[in-house]
């Protein structure tokens, strides 16, 4: 007997095709076998009818830092650079085991919120094990820093190669690939960027860079002044002012290409965006994080023409330190509302386009060819969102319901590769809703870890 499962709901949203009212998705051996209008009586052993709910592709969170889950709510209401410095300071307090627990909690939150793939930047490597444990797909980018010359370029790359090899080995048997993330123009020196570009190219590695995120970063690049320049001066790090925009600067260093994922893109000109498009680079839009840190609103229409079939842009929450959740429904809502507010146009971003960014767009920018939509033959990565709660009733259109009213906590089922990874019907308590993972030990260690971090605030 084949492992055929039929999931039925009032709406099926394939993303690449119009919504199906009263539809069902047939899953066979981890793949989508059929997407069709509901028919016949469901077999109680293999079928499940979710009623007032939407079945949609698993969400792709194209930019996260699962490692930092324990820092949620710890560093609030600071200016961007002060916020980063505070984060770095607190990061030194965690042990390897603490990072592991932190990333595991993040992976659990992602899966419970309907996320099935991520683009994650990790300084410690902990997020790979966490993502693998919970079945997540996507790309894990090993972060690399080096604005000063404490370590030679060769030494940094040697170390990076070792970390990358360890991650690659650990990724065996998972849906994850490994890339590198030279953090940002203010944390990686030009010579290191150039060497990393060559090295990544030789090894065919995907690259992720935080780019054009803050005003402080732009000041450093254009004029060599501001808090970032001041910090370099205090640390006796020499800085040759490039007098270029962030995108032009990175391109000049040879690190922008078809394998490059640029995160944020708040401070960009039309010229920058054309340049990135010519290089076939992709973007991740993180509206909530950009807003919370006071960095601004990215000009989405410039970054990427959304009407193009192969729009190279995805949506990401960024870490929970700047968000403070991995809720992709809220991220879609912010994306739409902020674009409309900034451009004073209702058509600046539609609910339908936001869903596309959060699913197919994310899959495209991470190079995941067989996810992102409910289509026959693709992997059975999907989630089910209930629409029968007070805040979601009534509903007339699935796009509107998902983008303007839904929350991550409305997800009732997350399936990855045809396997149920989260099921709200399993247990009333969140920690027991993961059929393949035991969250109880993670929850048990939380009070101690948070107490340690809380105590550090006075330091
Ligand atoms: Zn980030």
Please provide the size of the chain in residues: 459
Q: How far is the CA of 210 from the centre of ligand 1 (A)?
A: 6
| Boundaries of every domain in the chain | 4-57+374-425, 59-365
Angle between helix axes 153-170 and 190-202 (nearest 10 degrees) is 40
Q: How far is the CA of 2 from the centre of ligand 1 (A)?
A: 42
Q: Reduce the secondary structure of 272-307 to three states and give it as a string.
A: HHHHHHHCCCEEEECHHHHHHCCCCCCCHHHHCCCC
Q: How far is the CA of 245 from the centre of ligand 1 (A)?
A: 20
Backbone angles phi, psi at 191, to 5 degrees: -60, -35
Q: Residue 154 C-alpha to ligand 1 middle, in angstroms?
A: 25
d(CA 312, CA 71): 30
Specify whether the CB–CB gap between 113 and 328 falls below 8 A.
Answer: yes
CB-based contacts of 41-50 (< 8 A; 24+ apart in sequence): 42/6, 42/8, 43/6, 46/4, 46/5, 46/6, 47/5, 47/6, 47/7, 47/8, 48/5, 48/6, 48/7, 48/8, 49/8, 49/9, 50/7, 50/8, 50/9, 50/10, 50/384, 50/386, 50/412, 50/413
CA distance 249 to 236: 22
Long-range Cβ contact pairs of 87-94 (< 8 A, separation 24 or more): 87/321, 90/453, 90/456, 91/123, 93/452, 93/453, 93/456, 94/70
pLDDT the model gives residue 68: 96
What pTM did the predictor assign? 0.97
Q: How far is the CA of 75 from the centre of ligand 1 (A)?
A: 15
Tokens of residue 204, six digits: 């065919």
Cα 376 to middle of ligand 1, angstroms: 34
Q: For residue 414, how far is the Cα from the chain centroid?
A: 17
Measure 87 CA to ligand 1 centroid, in angstroms: 12
Closest listed residue to residue 117, CA positions, set 431, 449, 358, 388: 358
Find how far residue 167's CA is from the centre of its chain.
19
**CATH code reported for the domain at 4-57+374-425:** 2.30.40.10
Q: Give the pLDDT confidence score for residue 458 in this predicted structure.
A: 67
CATH number of 59-365: 3.20.20.140
Cα of 284 vs centre of ligand 1, distance in Å, is 10
Residue 170: strand, helix, or coil: helix
Give me the helices (H) in 121-245, please: 126-133, 153-170, 190-202, 215-223, 227-234
| Gap from CA of 291 to ligand 1 centroid (Å) | 14
- ω into 394 cis (within 30 of 0): yes
Q: How far is the CA of 294 from the centre of ligand 1 (A)?
A: 15
Per CATH, 4-57+374-425 and 59-365 having the same topology is answered no
C-alpha 21 – ligand 1 centre gap (Å): 38
| Number of helical H runs and strand E runs in the chain | 16, 16
82 Cα to the center of ligand 1, angstroms: 15
Q: How far is the CA of 24 from the centre of ligand 1 (A)?
A: 36
CA of 64 to the centre of ligand 1 (A): 6
CA of 306 to the centre of ligand 1 (A): 23
- Alpha carbon distance 10, 55 (integer Å): 8
What are the pLDDT tens digits along the chain (459 aa)? 458 999 999 999 999 999 999 999 999 999 999 999 999 999 999 999 999 999 999 999 999 999 999 999 999 999 999 999 999 888 988 999 999 999 999 999 999 999 999 999 999 999 999 999 999 999 999 999 999 999 999 999 999 999 999 999 999 999 999 999 999 999 999 999 999 999 999 999 999 999 999 999 999 999 999 999 999 999 999 999 999 999 999 999 999 999 999 999 999 999 999 999 999 999 999 999 999 999 999 999 999 887 666 679 999 999 999 999 999 999 999 999 999 999 999 999 999 999 999 999 999 999 999 999 999 999 999 999 999 999 999 999 999 999 999 999 999 999 999 999 999 999 999 999 999 999 999 999 999 999 888 887 765
């Amino acid at each position: 007997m084949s492992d055929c499962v039929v999931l039925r709901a009032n709406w099926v949203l394939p993303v690449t095709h119009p919504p199906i009212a009263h539809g069902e998705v047939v899953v066979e051996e981890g793949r989508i076998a059929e997407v069709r209008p509901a028919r016949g009586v469901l077999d109680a052993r293999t079928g499940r009818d979710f009623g007032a709910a939407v079945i949609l592709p698993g969400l792709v969170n194209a930019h996260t830092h699962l490692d930092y889950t324990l820092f949620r709510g710890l560093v609030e209401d600071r200016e961007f650079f002060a916020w980063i410095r505070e984060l770095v300071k607190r990061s030194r307090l965690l042990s390897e085991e603490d990072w592991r627990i932190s990333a595991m909690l993040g992976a659990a939150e992602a899966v419970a919120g309907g996320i099935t793939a991520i683009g994650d930047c990790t300084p410690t490597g902990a997020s790979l094990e966490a993502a693998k444990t919970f079945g997540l797909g996507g790309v894990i980018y090993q972060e690399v820093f080096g604005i000063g010359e404490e370590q030679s370029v060769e030494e940094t790359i040697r170390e990076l190669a070792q970390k990358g090899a360890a991650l690659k080995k650990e990724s065996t048997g998972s849906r994850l690939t490994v890339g590198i993330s030279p953090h940002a123009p203010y944390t990686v020196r030009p010579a290191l960027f150039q060497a990393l570009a060559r090295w990544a190219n030789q090894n065919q590695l995907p690259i992720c860079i935080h780019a054009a995120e803050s005003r402080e970063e732009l000041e450093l690049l254009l004029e060599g002044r501001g808090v970032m320049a001041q910090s370099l001066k205090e640390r006796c790090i020499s800085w040759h002012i490039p007098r270029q925009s962030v995108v032009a600067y990175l391109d000049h260093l040879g690190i922008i290409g078809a394998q490059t994922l640029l995160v944020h893109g708040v401070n960009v000109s039309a010229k920058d965006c054309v340049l990135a498009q010519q290089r076939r680079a992709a973007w991740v839009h993180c509206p909530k994080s950009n807003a919370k840190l006071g960095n601004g609103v990215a000009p989405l229409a410039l970054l990427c023409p959304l009407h193009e079939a192969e729009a190279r842009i995805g949506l990401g929450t960024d870490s929970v330190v700047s968000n403070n959740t991995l809720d992709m429904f809220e991220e879609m809502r912010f994306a739409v509302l902020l674009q409309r507010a900034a451009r004073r146009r209702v058509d600046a971003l539609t609910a339908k386009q936001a869903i596309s960014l959060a699913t197919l767009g994310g899959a495209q920018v991470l190079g995941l060819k067989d996810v992102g939509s409910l289509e026959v033959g693709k992997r059975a990565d999907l989630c089910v969102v209930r629409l029968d709660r007070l805040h979601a009733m009534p509903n007339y259109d699935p796009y509107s319901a998902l983008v303007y009213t839904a929350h991550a906590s409305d997800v009732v089922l997350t399936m990855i590769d045809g396997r149920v990874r989260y099921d709200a019907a399993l247990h009333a308590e969140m920690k027991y809703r993961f059929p393949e993972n035991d969250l109880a030990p993670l929850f048990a260690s939380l009070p101690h870890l948070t107490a340690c971090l809380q105590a550090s605030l006075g330091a």
